[in-house]
C-alpha cells in the first residue's frame, strides 16, 4: 500500500480514531466467520415482474426472479448473508389488488428473507388481510413501535430478533411510520403508534445487553423531512447503539449509505435503495473484535 | 509484511489498541437489470398468477359508444372520471359537494368498443384513494383561480362560468320569491371536495388543499371506483358538457 492511499484511508476513519489500513486492505485474508453481508430492499410495492421495456423511467429494471439470481450469487461468494426488507411490500401492481399480498409473501420466503418490517401500505388489505397474507411468509416481521394488542395482528409480529451468523451476533428490530392520516382508520383498526425514538433506544439497548455485535434497525419512517417529523436521519441522531438503519417509505435512492452521528458521537449508517425492487442494497461488515474492548468504532471504507 | 507490521504498530500506538473493537463497512448498490438472468424456479411460481391476471385484464366490463379523450378545458374523459368519483361517495342533498381531479392523472384514453378491466388499469395505474376534503368557503376562490390558470381540470358538480365557480348543489337551492326575485342561498361556512389523496397532499400544486377543516378517507381506490361505475353503467355515459368555460 502506498503512502497516499494510507493517508486517504485514515482520513475516512470515523469517530476521529486512526487505524492501520493493513487491517482494512486484507479482505481476502479476513476470517469469513467474522464477516457479514447485509442485502436489503424497501418499498418493493408488489413489483414482481420487471418494468416493461417501454417504461419511461425504469425500462426493463427490477423483477423478483432476477433479484433471486443476484442474491444467490452473493450467497455463493459470502459465508454470512442476511436478506432484509424495510416495508411497503404491498400495493402497486394488480398482483396485490387481485391476490392480496399472498404472492409477495410466497416469493420473499422463496428468496430467503431473514426479516422484514411493516410499511404503511402493508396495512392496505386491513389487519385481517395482512394476517392472511402473512401466513404465507416464512420469515418474521419486526415491528417494535406498533402496539397490536387489540388487533388481529397481535402475535404475528415480534419486537426484535437475534441471529448468529458465524462469529457475529446480530440484533434486529423494526420501526414504522405514524399511520394516522396516512392509512384509513379502519385498515389499521386499534393499532397504537408508539414513539419510534424511545422504542428504538429501548430495543437497541436490550440487544446490546444481549451481546449483539451489530444492531440493525429496519425502518419505514422515511429518510428525511423538512419538518419535525421523525425520519431516519433524526432517529440516528437521537439514539444510541444502532449501527445500521435500513430505511424506506420516501423511495430515496442512495448511492451509498449516509453517515450520521448518534448521541454518543458514534457513526450510524443509513441506507435506502429507491423502490420497486430496482436495486438491492448491499452493506458488508468485517469485525475485528477485541476481548475486553471498552469501545467499538465503525469504520467506513 | 514489514510495512504492514509498521502500520499495525503505528495503529496500536495511536489507539491503545486492545480497548477498541473495530467494525469495517463497505457498501454498494446492485441494480436489478438484464445483466442478471431470471431464475426459472422463481418465475415458475409467478407464472400461474401472471397468466390468470392477464386473462382477467381482458375481461370486458362495459361498452363505449364514443372515444373518451382527456382535454383542456373539457374532455369526455374528464367528465366521465369526475362524475364517477362524485357518484361513488354518499351525497347529502344540502351539502356543497363537488369533485376535482387532474388531467395529468388520467393516463390513457378509453377507446370506442369493448372496455376491458385492463383499460381501466391503464387509465388509472396509480393507487390513489378517493378522499372527501372539507375546506373553508374562502378556499373556493383559490380553486377558481387554479382552474383558470391551468385552463381546466376534470370537475363534476361544479361549473366555471364567467370566471366564477358555481357549485351546482347550491344553485339548485336558489329560489324565486313572491315578487319573482331570485334569492340565492347564503354561502355555507365550508364546502367538500371529492378528490384523490395524491391531489389532497398537494399533488399537481393543488396547494389549496393544505390545512383542511376535515378529511374523510373512503378506503376506495379511484381505480376501483372507475371499475365499479363502468360495470354499473354498462354503456359508459358520454357527455361533452362544457363545465369549464374560460
Give the tens place of pLDDT for each residue, A74-87. Answer: 999 999 999 999 99
Q: Which of 3.60.21.10, 3.40.50.300, 3.20.20.300, 1.10.1040.10 is the CATH number of A31-286?
A: 3.60.21.10
CB contact under 8 Å between A256 and B28, yes or no, is yes
Looking at residue B88, its pLDDT comes to 93
Rounded-to-integer distance, Cα B152 and Cα B149, Å: 8
CB contact under 8 Å between A20 and B10, yes or no, is yes
Q: Which of B22, B56, B133 to mutate to test the interface with A (most CBs of A within 10 A)?
A: B22
Looking at residue A67, its pLDDT comes to 98
Rounded-to-integer distance, Cα A196 and Cα B98, Å: 39
Please check whether residue B19 touches A, CB under 8 A.
yes
Other CB atoms within a 10 A radius of the CB of residue A164 amount to: 11
Taking CA–CA distances from B28, the nearest residue in chain A reads A282
Contact list in A for residue B126 (CB cut-off 8 A) is none
Banded pLDDT at A55 (limits 50, 70, 90): confident
Grid coordinates of A102: 399472498
Looking at residue A1, its pLDDT comes to 39
Looking at residue B93, its pLDDT comes to 57
Grid coordinates of B160: 366555471
B216 Rama class: left (phi>0) / alpha (psi -120 to 50) / beta = beta
Domain total of chain B: 1
Rounded-to-integer distance, Cα B28 and Cα A283, Å: 7
Task: Report if residue B131 sits inside a domain.
Answer: yes
Asked if residues A296 and A169 have their Cβ atoms less than 8 Å apart, the reply is no
Three-state secondary structure of A40-106: EECCCCCCCCCCCCCCCCCCCCCCHHHHHHHHHHHHHHCCCEEEEECCCCCCCCHHHHHHCCHHHHH
Strands of A258-261's sheet, edge to edge?
Answer: A160-165, A168-176, A214-220, A244-246, A267-271, A258-261
The rounded percent of chain A whose pLDDT value lies above 90 is 80
Contact list in B for residue A284 (CB cut-off 8 A) is 25-27
| pLDDT tens track for A112-157 | 999 999 999 999 999 999 999 999 999 999 999 999 999 999 999 9
Please check whether residue A22 touches B, CB under 8 A.
yes
CB contact under 8 Å between A293 and B28, yes or no, is no
Residue A191, pLDDT > 80, answer: yes
Contact list in B for residue A1 (CB cut-off 8 A) is 3, 7
Looking at residue B55, its pLDDT comes to 95
Please check whether residue A32 touches B, CB under 8 A.
no
CB contact under 8 Å between B27 and A186, yes or no, is no
Residue A20, pLDDT > 80, answer: no
User: Which residue, among A287, A268, A249, has the nearest Cα to A166 in the 3D structure?
Assistant: A287
User: Which residue, among A276, A267, A249, has the nearest Cα to A176 in the 3D structure?
Assistant: A249
Interface of A with B in 132-191 (CB under 8 A): 181, 184-187
Looking at residue B96, its pLDDT comes to 80
Please check whether residue B211 touches A, CB under 8 A.
no
Rounded-to-integer distance, Cα B76 and Cα B113, Å: 15
| Cβ-Cβ contacts under 8 Å for A237 (sequence gap 6 or more) | A260, A261, A262, A263
Other CB atoms within a 10 A radius of the CB of residue B214 amount to: 10
Q: Which of B3, B24, B133, B197 to mutate to test the interface with A (most CBs of A within 10 A)?
A: B24
Residue A12, pLDDT > 80, answer: no
Rounded-to-integer distance, Cα A161 and Cα A60, Å: 36
Residue A2, pLDDT > 80, answer: no
Contact list in A for residue B116 (CB cut-off 8 A) is none
- Average pLDDT of chain A is 91
A14, with CB counted inside 10 A (0-12, 13-18, 19+), is middle
CB contact under 8 Å between B46 and A107, yes or no, is yes
Task: Report if residue B184 sits inside a domain.
Answer: yes
Asked if residues B132 and B218 have their Cβ atoms less than 8 Å apart, the reply is yes
CB contact under 8 Å between A285 and B23, yes or no, is yes
Task: Report if residue B48 sits inside a domain.
Answer: no
Residue A23, pLDDT > 60, answer: no
Taking CA–CA distances from B220, the nearest residue in chain A reads A184
Rg (CA), chain A: 19
Element counts in chain B: helices (H) and strands (E): 8, 12
B167 forms beta bridges with B158
Looking at residue B182, its pLDDT comes to 81
Query: A7: part of which helix (H) or strand (E)?
Result: helix A3-12
Rounded-to-integer distance, Cα A123 and Cα A187, Å: 6
Grid coordinates of B239: 357527455
Looking at residue B91, its pLDDT comes to 67
Banded pLDDT at A40 (limits 50, 70, 90): very high
Banded pLDDT at A293 (limits 50, 70, 90): confident
What is the reported pTM?
Answer: 0.79
Other CB atoms within a 10 A radius of the CB of residue A225 amount to: 13
Mean pLDDT in residue range A217-246:
97
The rounded percent of chain A whose pLDDT value lies above 70 is 91
Phi, psi (5° rounding) for residue B76? -60, -35
Taking CA–CA distances from A123, the nearest residue in chain B reads B219
Measured in angstroms, the CA of A285 and the nearest CA of chain B are apart by: 5
Rounded-to-integer distance, Cα B168 and Cα B159, Å: 7
Phi, psi (5° rounding) for residue B46? -75, -35
Per 3-state DSSP, what percentage of chain A is helix, strand, and coil (rounded to 5)?
30, 25, 45
Asked if residues B15 and A297 have their Cβ atoms less than 8 Å apart, the reply is no
Rg (CA), chain B: 28
Asked if residues A229 and A257 have their Cβ atoms less than 8 Å apart, the reply is no
Q: Which CATH number fits the domain that encloses residue B57?
A: 3.90.780.10
Contact list in B for residue A247 (CB cut-off 8 A) is none
Rounded-to-integer distance, Cα A116 and Cα B156, Å: 43
Domain boundaries, given as residue ranges, for chain A: 1-30, 31-286
Looking at residue B94, its pLDDT comes to 61
CB contact under 8 Å between B38 and A66, yes or no, is yes
Banded pLDDT at A278 (limits 50, 70, 90): very high
What interface predicted TM-score (ipTM) does this complex get? 0.89
Please check whether residue B26 touches A, CB under 8 A.
yes
| Higher per-residue pLDDT: B2 or A167 | A167
Task: Report if residue B178 sits inside a domain.
Answer: yes
CB contact under 8 Å between B18 and A291, yes or no, is yes
- CA A72-A73-A74 angle, to 5 degrees, is 90
Looking at residue B18, its pLDDT comes to 54
Interface of B with A in 83-122 (CB under 8 A): 121
Interface of A with B in 228-287 (CB under 8 A): 243, 254-257, 269, 271, 273, 277-287
Looking at residue A3, its pLDDT comes to 41
Residue A14, pLDDT > 80, answer: no
Task: Report if residue B6 sits inside a domain.
Answer: no
Residue A197, pLDDT > 80, answer: yes
B101, with CB counted inside 10 A (0-12, 13-18, 19+), is buried
Instruction: Find the domain containing B190 and state its range.
Output: 53-233
Rounded-to-integer distance, Cα A221 and Cα A232, Å: 6
Sign of CA dihedral A229, A259, A280, A140: negative
Mean pLDDT in residue range A213-224:
98
CB contact under 8 Å between A20 and B4, yes or no, is yes
Banded pLDDT at A28 (limits 50, 70, 90): low
Instruction: Please give the average pLDDT of every successive group of 10 residues along chain B, which has 246 residues.
Output: 45 55 96 97 98 95 97 97 93 79 92 95 88 96 96 97 91 80 85 94 91 92 96 97 96
CB contact under 8 Å between B215 and A181, yes or no, is yes
Beta strand B20-31 pairing with B113-116: unpaired
CB contact under 8 Å between B21 and A288, yes or no, is yes
CB contact under 8 Å between B27 and A284, yes or no, is yes
CB contact under 8 Å between B34 and A60, yes or no, is yes
Contact list in A for residue B215 (CB cut-off 8 A) is 181
Amino acid at each position: 500500500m502506498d503512502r497516499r492511499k494510507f493517508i486517504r484511508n485514515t482520513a475516512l476513519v470515523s469517530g476521529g480514531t486512526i487505524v492501520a489500513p493493513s487491517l482494512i486492505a486484507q479482505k481476502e485474508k479476513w476470517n469469513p466467520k467474522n464477516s457479514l453481508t447485509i442485502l436489503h430492499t424497501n418499498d418493493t410495492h408488489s413489483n414482481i415482474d420487471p418494468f416493461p421495456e417501454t417504461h419511461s423511467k425504469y425500462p426493463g429494471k427490477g423483477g423478483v426472479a432476477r433479484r433471486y439470481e443476484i442474491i444467490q450469487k452473493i450467497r455463493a461468494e459470502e459465508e454470512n448473508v442476511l436478506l432484509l426488507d424495510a416495508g411497503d411490500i404491498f400495493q402497486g401492481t394488480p398482483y396485490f389488488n387481485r391476490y392480496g399480498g399472498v404472492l409477495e409473501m410466497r416469493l420473499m420466503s422463496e428468496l430467503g428473507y431473514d426479516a422484514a418490517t411493516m410499511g404503511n401500505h402493508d396495512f392496505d388489505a386491513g389487519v385481517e388481510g395482512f394476517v392472511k397474507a402473512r401466513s404465507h411468509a416464512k420469515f418474521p416481521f419486526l415491528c417494535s413501535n406498533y402496539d397490536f394488542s387489540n388487533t388481529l395482528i397481535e402475535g404475528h409480529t415480534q419486537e426484535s430478533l437475534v441471529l448468529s451468523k458465524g462469529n457475529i451476533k446480530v440484533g434486529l428490530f423494526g420501526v414504522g411510520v405514524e399511520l394516522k392520516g396516512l392509512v384509513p382508520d379502519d385498515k389499521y383498526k386499534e393499532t397504537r403508534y408508539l414513539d419510534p425514538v424511545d422504542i428504538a433506544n429501548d430495543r437497541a439497548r436490550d440487544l446490546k445487553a444481549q451481546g449483539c455485535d451489530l444492531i440493525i434497525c429496519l425502518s419505514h419512517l422515511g429518510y428525511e423531512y423538512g419538518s419535525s417529523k421523525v425520519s431516519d436521519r433524526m432517529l440516528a441522531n437521537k439514539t444510541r447503539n444502532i449501527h445500521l438503519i435500513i430505511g424506506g417509505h420516501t423511495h430515496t435512492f442512495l448511492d451509498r449509505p449516509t453517515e450520521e452521528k448518534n448521541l454518543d458521537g458514534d457513526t450510524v449508517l443509513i441506507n435506502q435503495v429507491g423502490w420497486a425492487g430496482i436495486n438491492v442494497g448491499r452493506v458488508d461488515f468485517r469485525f475485528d473484535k477485541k476481548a475486553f474492548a471498552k469501545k467499538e468504532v465503525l469504520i467506513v471504507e | 509484511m514489514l510495512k504492514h507490521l509498521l502500520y499495525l504498530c503505528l495503529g496500536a500506538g495511536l489507539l491503545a489498541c486492545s480497548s477498541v473493537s473495530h467494525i469495517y463497512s463497505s457498501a454498494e448498490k446492485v441494480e436489478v437489470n438484464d445483466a442478471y438472468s431470471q431464475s426459472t424456479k422463481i418465475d415458475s411460481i409467478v407464472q400461474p398468477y401472471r397468466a390468470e391476471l392477464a386473462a382477467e385484464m381482458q375481461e370486458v366490463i362495459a361498452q363505449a359508444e364514443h372515444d373518451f379523450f382527456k382535454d383542456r378545458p373539457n374532455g369526455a374523459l374528464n367528465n366521465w372520471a369526475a362524475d364517477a368519483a362524485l357518484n361513488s361517495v354518499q351525497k347529502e342533498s344540502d351539502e356543497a359537494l363537488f369533485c376535482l381531479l387532474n388531467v395529468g392523472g388520467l393516463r390513457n384514453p378509453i377507446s370506442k368498443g369493448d372496455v376491458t378491466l385492463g383499460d381501466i388499469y391503464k387509465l388509472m395505474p396509480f393507487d390513489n384513494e378517493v378522499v372527501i376534503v372539507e375546506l373553508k368557503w374562502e378556499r373556493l376562490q383559490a380553486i377558481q383561480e387554479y382552474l383558470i390558470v391551468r385552463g381546466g381540470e376534470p370537475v363534476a358538480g361544479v361549473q366555471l362560468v364567467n370566471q366564477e365557480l358555481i357549485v351546482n348543489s347550491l344553485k339548485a337551492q336558489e329560489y324565486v320569491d313572491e315578487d319573482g326575485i331570485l334569492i340565492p342561498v347564503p354561502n355555507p361556512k365550508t364546502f367538500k371536495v371529492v378528490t384523490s389523496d395524491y391531489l389532497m397532499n398537494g399533488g399537481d400544486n393543488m396547494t389549496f388543499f393544505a390545512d383542511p377543516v376535515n378529511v374523510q378517507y373512503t378506503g376506495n381506490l379511484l381505480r376501483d371506483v372507475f371499475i365499479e361505475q363502468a360495470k354499473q353503467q354498462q354503456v359508459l355515459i358520454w357527455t361533452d358538457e362544457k363545465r369549464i368555460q374560460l
